[in-house]
Amino acid sequence: MTRHVVIVGAGPAGLAAATAAVRAGAQVTLLDAADQAGGQYHRMPLDTYETKRPRILERCDWWPGGAVWALERHDERRPPRVHVISGPDGGTRRRHVLEPDALVLAPGAHDRTLPFPGWELPGVFTAGAAQALAKGEGVAVGDRVLVAGSGPFLLPVAASLLAVGSHVTAVLEANPAATVLRGWTQSPWRLAAQAGKAAELAAYAALLARRRVPYRTGRAVIEARGDGRVEEAVTARLRADWSVVAGSERTTAVDALCVTHGFSPQLELPVAAGCALRDGFVLVDEDQATSSTGVYAAGEVTGIAGAPAARAEGVVAGWVAGGGSPARLRTVRRRRDEGRTFAVRLAAAHPIGRRWSGWLRPDTLVCRCEETDYGTLCRTADVSARAVRLATRAGLGPCQARICGPTLAELLDTNPHDRPIISPIRLGELANPPEEKESTP
């Protein structure tokens, strides 16, 4: 019988996995909660998408708008059952249950933004939000925009903002130049290997220089101010450990602020599948297999290394999940390993400094949903993590701690990714029985 492979996430990793699994001879179901394939990297306006749809979608069972809301472990020798809800939210959605022979998880990552005073003001966005709106819909989040945080991702975001007509006042990298340079130049011969990514970043840097957008290192946004919406940003110089240099504060008038300090992998699905983690990412072997039988992982859930690395991992995962022989993978494995090296260097060049919490004030919100402030958390933090959550409701709001989870984990020492329900589902939908797995949504 043909192997049935279910792939969750149609970003660079999931699309590459689908192509490889089909090539290996498997029957493939590719799911994405979004109605467009491409993930975060290949986001584009709907009309452009209609002419540029990836060709693999014709050769597999493609379920746009198919969100996996639960994984059910029913037999330790097999991958879990996949519970899917499909259709537009607010419209008619249908439930399905899939029982694949192999499962590839490629759900990607989302921005990690550390809290700072005023970050809840409208007009403060993650850098990813600005990117998604600019790339996907041509919408500029503001006219005068400051981009800040850490990592090379800030560069394409500034470029996209310029492309939709925003004035970008500056791009601020929180790490000092010494940290960034040490990380990037540690092993120059390895940098050359990731030439694709390096050339892309160089092009962004050249664009910013041409448009006279200053790129400053060792400077961060430590406060957003405004009445009902952001009107100004307070920036300050940081030391290598991200402690604020007193007296270095400056204010800039802005109508939007885009801040991202790194990425958090979307670990809900791997955790629900029982996959072991290491250093906050899914642990995978040479073949992208996780510790759970028949479950593979690819892309940013295994490490933050950009789209080329995600693609290479997807090829390996899809091919092996589809029953292909791992011996045939030498070249792509090398590319995958280069991607992993790149991830390590990226983490070294753009770490989150240990002393960032120095810019928090007692009334700074940590949990945006429940509006729990830092002062309240500190007062309750000497009791158990569970007690803190129940007493302050931090991490118990609608986002289920996706935003504040890593921060709370740092403060309270808990696992931020254990959620019984991965994607929101309404009670009425839960009450309906799932439809037959053969029916396409």
Partner 1 sequence: MRPIRISLDGDPLTGSDGQTIAGLLLAAGLRSWRRAPSGAPRGVFCGIGVCFDCLVTVNGVRDVRACRSRARDGDVVTTQSRAEAP
Provide the binding-site residues for ligand FAD, judged by CB under 6 A. Answer: 8-14, 31-34, 39-41, 67-68, 106-111, 128, 131-132, 153, 156, 266, 269, 299-300, 306-307, 310, 422-423
Measured from the CB atom, is 79 or 299 closer to ligand FAD?
A: 299
Give the footprint of partner 1 on this chain (CB under 8 A).
Answer: 33-35, 40, 45-47, 88-90, 110-111, 120, 122-126, 128-133, 136-137, 139, 141, 228-229, 368-371, 397-399, 402-403, 424
Show the tokens assigned to 19. Answer: 């192509």
Measured from the CB atom, is 79 or 136 closer to partner 1?
A: 136
Q: What residue 54 binds from ligand FAD, partner 1, none (CB within 5 to 8 A, per partner kind)?
A: none
- Min dist CB 438 to ligand FAD, Å, is 20
Measured from the CB atom, is 125 or 359 closer to partner 1?
A: 125
Please state whether beta strands 61-64 and 277-278 pair in parallel, antiparallel, or not at all (unpaired): unpaired
Measured from the CB atom, is 11 or 405 closer to ligand FAD?
A: 11
Q: What residue 123 binds from partner 1, ligand FAD, none (CB within 5 to 8 A, per partner kind)?
A: partner 1
DSSP 1: -
- How far apart CA 304 and CA 340 sit, in angstroms, is 8
Q: What residue 31 binds from partner 1, ligand FAD, none (CB within 5 to 8 A, per partner kind)?
A: ligand FAD
Show the tokens assigned to 367. Answer: 């949990």
- Min dist CB 90 to partner 1, Å, is 4
Q: What residue 115 binds from partner 1, ligand FAD, none (CB within 5 to 8 A, per partner kind)?
A: none
Backbone angles phi, psi at 52, to 5 degrees: -115, 20
H-assigned helices in 322-351 = 330-349
Q: What residue 68 binds from ligand FAD, partner 1, none (CB within 5 to 8 A, per partner kind)?
A: ligand FAD
- Min dist CB 77 to ligand FAD, Å, is 24
How far, CA to CA in Å, does 87 sit from each of 96, 97, 287, 420, 438? Answer: 11, 15, 33, 21, 16
Measured from the CB atom, is 130 or 317 closer to partner 1?
A: 130
H-assigned helices in 8-57 = 12-23, 46-52
Backbone angles phi, psi at 64, to 5 degrees: -65, 150
- How far apart CA 140 and CA 165 sit, in angstroms, is 7
Measured from the CB atom, is 12 or 149 closer to ligand FAD?
A: 12
Measured from the CB atom, is 18 or 388 closer to ligand FAD?
A: 18
- Min dist CB 295 to ligand FAD, Å, is 14
Kindly tell me the burial class for residue 366, based on how many C-beta atoms sit within 10 Å of its own C-beta (0-12, 13-18, 19 or more): buried
Measured from the CB atom, is 156 or 353 closer to ligand FAD?
A: 156
Are 21 and 28 a contacting pair, CB within 8 Å? yes
Closest residue by Cα to residue 287 from 108, 109, 102, 107: 102
Amino acid at 141: V
DSSP 282: E
H/E stretch holding 388 reads helix 385-392
- Min dist CB 25 to partner 1, Å, is 34
Q: What residue 22 binds from partner 1, ligand FAD, none (CB within 5 to 8 A, per partner kind)?
A: none
Q: What residue 64 binds from partner 1, ligand FAD, none (CB within 5 to 8 A, per partner kind)?
A: none
- Three-state DSSP state, 30: strand
Measured from the CB atom, is 234 or 317 closer to ligand FAD?
A: 317
Are 36 and 69 a contacting pair, CB within 8 Å? no
DSSP 294: T
H/E stretch holding 62 reads strand 61-64
Q: What residue 139 binds from ligand FAD, partner 1, none (CB within 5 to 8 A, per partner kind)?
A: partner 1
- Min dist CB 131 to ligand FAD, Å, is 4
- Min dist CB 292 to ligand FAD, Å, is 16
